[in-house]
Each structure stands twice: as C-alpha cells, then as structure tokens.
Structure 1
Amino acid sequence: MQIKPLACLHEMDSVAWNTLAGSGYPFLRHEFLSALEQSGCVGGKTGWLPQHITVWEGETLVAVMPMYRKSHSSGEYVFDHAWANFYHQNAVAYYPKWLTAIPFTPCQGPRLACLAGVDAAKINRAVFDFIRAQAEIDGISSWHGLFPLPDQLAQCQNLGLNIREGVQFQWFNRGYRDFSDFLDAMTASKRKMIKRERRKVTEQGIEFLMLTGDEASDVQWQVFYQFYALTYLKKSSQPYLNLDFFLRCAARMGEQMRLVLAIKDQRYVGAALSFIGGDTFYGRYWGCYEEYNFLHFEACYYQGLDYCLANGLQRFDSGAQGEHKIARGFEPVTTYSAHWLKEARFAKPIADFLAREKIAIQDYRADAARHLPFKTPENKG
C-alpha cells in the first residue's frame, strides 16, 4: 500500500477519482474540487494549499481523501481560533495545520472514499500513520477532519482522535405527500405563519424560476454572482468564491445544481443556489439587492422543500447556523469533527474543553428540539 499526496487535482484522472467518490455527495466529486482549484478559490495565496491523499495498492487506486495545508482557519465553519490563540500564548505555531474538509462547505459527507471491498479500517490506519509521520517532517501542528458522516466516527475514535460536536438544522421527509401535508403536521400557529409568509411574497409580485446549472445562461449566472457577493459585502467581507468557480461547476456538474431566481417586475431581485446528491437537497448560497418581506425564507427554504416533496428527496441539508429554521420544520442534528494535535501538552487541555463543550452542545440540541413546530400528544395543534 502506497500513499501519495496530490498537489493538484487536475493531475488525477476524474473518472478514477469519481469511481471512488461517487455522485451521491456532490462536493466530493472531482468536478467540484477541481473547480475550486482551477478558479483560484483555493491554492496560491488563499491559505488553502491542496495536499490530497491518494492510496494505491500496486497500480490500483483504492482510496482518496481531500486535504489542505491551511495557514488560517477561515472558511471552515468549525471554529478553532481559540486553539490557535492558546498555541500563540505558549509561543508555539498552530499554523500550518492540515484540514480534511470541503472548502467553504459545512455539509456532512464522506471524507475518505474507498474502493468497494477493501479494508477501510486498514486504510484509515495507514492514512493516519502517514499524516502523523509527515507532520513531523513538514512542521504541521495538527490534523482536522470536518463534517464526516456519523458512521465514520467509530473509525476516528479507534485512531484516538478527539471528537467535537456541533448542531445544524435539517429537514426530513416524514412521508409527506406534498407541502400541505407537511404543514398539516404542524401546530396551527406555525402552519398559519408559514402560509402567511408565502402569501406575502406572492402579494409583493415576486415569482420564481428554478433552473438546473446547465440550463442557466451566462447572464443569469452573473446576476446570481452579484447577489451572492452582496451577501458578503453587506457584512464588509469578501466572498470566498468567484464567478469562474460557479461557471465551471455549471458546465461540469450542472445537473446536480438548482438555481432559484426571484423575479419582480421582469427583473431579478434575488437568487438561491442549491446542490442535489442522492436523496438530499443541499442549500448553499443566497443573495439579494434589497430586502423583501420573507423573500429569504421562500427562496432558500420553501422553494427547496417544494422540490424535495415533488421529487421524493428525503433530506434538506441547509448548512450552518440559523435558529430561525426551527420554526419552519428544520430539526436539530448533531454534526461532528475529528481532531489530532501533535503536541500532547496541547492535546490534553483541548480534549478537556471538548468534553465540557459536548455537554453544552447536547443541552442546546435538546432545547432546540423542544421548539420544533410539529404537533405532539400534548399539543395537537
């Protein structure tokens, strides 16, 4: 078994990579990751240097794992800035670190993709041994794996990694026939709230157009990008992604993209972009020129829910944060990350912190679940 780092995904045959990565999780596809590199969103001076892991048995590629050498902690959605400060206060460098994640994408999914029939536990051990040994050579402080699937946690724990928990909000199709059936599962007050929100959008004269990525024109992509960039500029920050990235994705994997355009008086006033993989709808990007009542909820959530219900999708992963999603039927779920720190004197206090944080996170998730809008035996709505 040989492990070979890959500094440029374009050097790897896309069919070979995708044979392992599959298409059920769109963000692990060769097309998505290479679009990030070729558009300049990662690589160069961005602080995201690709060092992907490929595992070989002879001439056969048996496993792939995205990995980046990071010189900062931006764009990760699992926040370790306090850890970096802890290192700095003790005159030890936290950066560079290694990160296994999908850049700018806080969505759970596979992180180490293996050939069917191989011993995944054996490959995990070999990859981790390589990471530890190479960290000594390259002066790397740590390795972090963000948003792995829950069924990959046992392997992480077997490797002695620290597990960190978080909470996101996702929608699940509980056998709903359509949107009305979904609303019928809610209490009367929340059902009325959502109906009112959708009605108010219509009363403002706003209509919606949903396109696949390859159906959208260059002009429509330019309009979307202006909306997307404004979301960051309104907060006095710079967007992580550029227009070239979105155009590359649209050309190469447009069938897995859904662009919702909001139209009022024959002009575009907002847009939301999502991806589809397997039975899941991934809500990702949003923006608008000016605020309209409830436009964000309609474009980012209700249009996606309509699509899920019409097409038999079972889950809507809405990404990071957003307690406002609870009232709209998005349930709190636990997310995970795995962490290895080379220096034992830092690993122990951080492990203690994670143990305390876990209790708070679990209490928060339980409290969030108590605010879900669905009928209960005590409250039949």
Structure 2
Amino acid sequence: MADNKKIQIPRLKLGNQGLEVSKLGFGCMGLTGVYNAPLAEVDGIAILIDAFNKGITFFDTADVYGSHANEVLVGKALKQLPREKVQLATKFGIAGMGPDGMIVKGTPEYVRSCCEGSLNRLDVDYIDLYYQHRVDTSVPIEETIGELKKLVEEGKIKYIGLSEAGPETIRRAHAVHPITAVQMEWSLWTRDIEEEIIPVCRELGIGIVPYSPLGRGFFGGKAIVETLSANSFLVAHPRFKGENLDKNKNIYIRIENLAKKHKCTPAQLALAWVLEQGDDVVPIPGTTKIKNLDDNIGSLTVKLTKEEDLKEIFDAVPIEEVAGDRTYGNMKKATWTFANTPQKDGNV
C-alpha cells in the first residue's frame, strides 16, 4: 500500500496569475458535518494542523459550510499556523435554500458583504483565493467580477475563482479580471467537464480544482465497505441509493482489483488518476480521519504511465455505466448540470 512516509508534496502554480499551492489540497467542508456528524472543534483543528505539517498548504472552505462554522474553525486553525505559508480559499454566493433550490446571489453589495463576513470569521487580513460558489443568473457576471476586482485592488483578496460556471461565463468573467482557478466536480465517475470546461481553462491559463475527487467518498469505500451514517446527506444521493448503488458497486470492484495491481488502496488509485490529469490540476479531497488523510497523501506515490495505466483505469469506469445523477434534488436547479446540450452561457 502506498503511504505518506517522508512524502514531499510537490508545489505548483495554480493558474498563471502567480498563486502557488501544494499539489494536493484539503477540502474542509466535512469537518462541520455533511457526510458525518461534525467533528469537535479541537479535532477539526488538529486534522488541519496535521495536514499542514505533512505538506498540504491549500485549504478550501466556504461561508455556507456549517452555516459559517467551517470558516470559524479554519480561522482558529490558522492561528496555530504560519499564515504566509497557507493558501486559503473560501467562497460566497449561496445565500440559502428555498423551495426551488439554492438561493444564489451575486450583486456587488452582496459580494462585498460576504467578503467582509468571511474575513471576520476567518480572522484574517486577506483571502488568497475567493470563489463565486455558484453563478447568479439574474446578475451579469461582469458586475460580480467587477466588485471582486475592487476587492483585489483593496488587498482583501489576492485571486479570483469561479465554481460550477459554464464555459462562456468563464470567458466573460476572465475578460473583466483574470480568473485564477475554476472549481468543479471531477472524478473517475464525473467527467463532464472534460469536453468544454477543461479546454477553456487551459486556453485562458486558469487552474482546475476538482472537488469530490473521490466521488464523495465512493472510491474510498463509502456505502460499499462502510455503512453510511444516518445523518449523512449521501443516504439521499442518487448514486448511493438502491439499484443505482447495486450497479455502481461493479465499478468499485473493478477499481479495487486494479488497486491491488498497483499495490495501493482504491481511494489512492482514484485520486492518483485525478492528480495525473495535469500540472494545472489540484484536487481537494476532504476527510475527518487522519488515516484517510495519510491515504490521500499516499496517492502521490502511485506511479501511473500515461498510456497504459491511465487508459486501464479510465476504461474501468465507463461513464455510461455510472448509475444516478452526480447531484440530487433541488441542488440541480442552481448547478451547471452538464446536460447533453449544455447552455452556452453556463448560467444554469
């Protein structure tokens, strides 16, 4: 099994605007609940410090995670770390949930108030990478990015990012102020962004930050070799339910068998595949367990050849065999869901 003993986590430039991060990031969302019960604050802080001590310096949170609690926790962890050596990313734009789905806001006034709120909760002077979490279809992207540009000029944020934005939205935003990174779901069983989003990002020199690179824990064995917690939102996720899960288990078994060949865990193999997609790709797996953190770091030692191994892994997960949507319920209504003929403005 690949492990993380004395692993030097590489550093790279995320996008071409100058932001340097660790090749592997840490998604903080789960520390305050979602997949399992929230961690005790002291335990959440401890895992972030451990991640930093092992070479991960790129931490991803959002104002909506834990109803602000996630940013507070991350801020407390930062007090025990050298701030200048941490690349802190947070997000704004999801104002809540309504009967028709996410309530998304992107007005200049809202952008500024969210930034001030995040700076306060994180207790920092600046945010390294500030993402628009979801695109507000009622506000021209130029207005939203225009306000973010002002925040850059004021030194409150250093770099601008987008999450779940379509190709034309990315282009329009980038024309107002350079976009440093685009965060999208990307894993072995969610590859929709490869056709349009990835080429646009690479054309414009924008880094790619895959969230849920382990398929929301699926490739780590969640719902296959583990029992889902009753309070986990995964119990309602289409890919983890009923017949869909029964079908998807076949995919897990294939990856499990390939992992044995590479002498690593299924999670390490799945994450190694994402890591191999390019030097402009920085996945942000999250976890609440040190052993899983170590497992994720160990994926950096899994050696895959471009021609044979990557194709074998790719072929083990035929996208047409993946059962269930990548997201569920009202979440779809505020997410660019990659229909067969996606809207060209990306603001779906």
Q: Calculate the TM-score normalised by the size of structure 1.
A: 0.31
Q: Which has the higher strand share?
A: 1
Q: Calculate the TM-score normalised by the size of structure 2.
A: 0.33
Larger Rg: 1
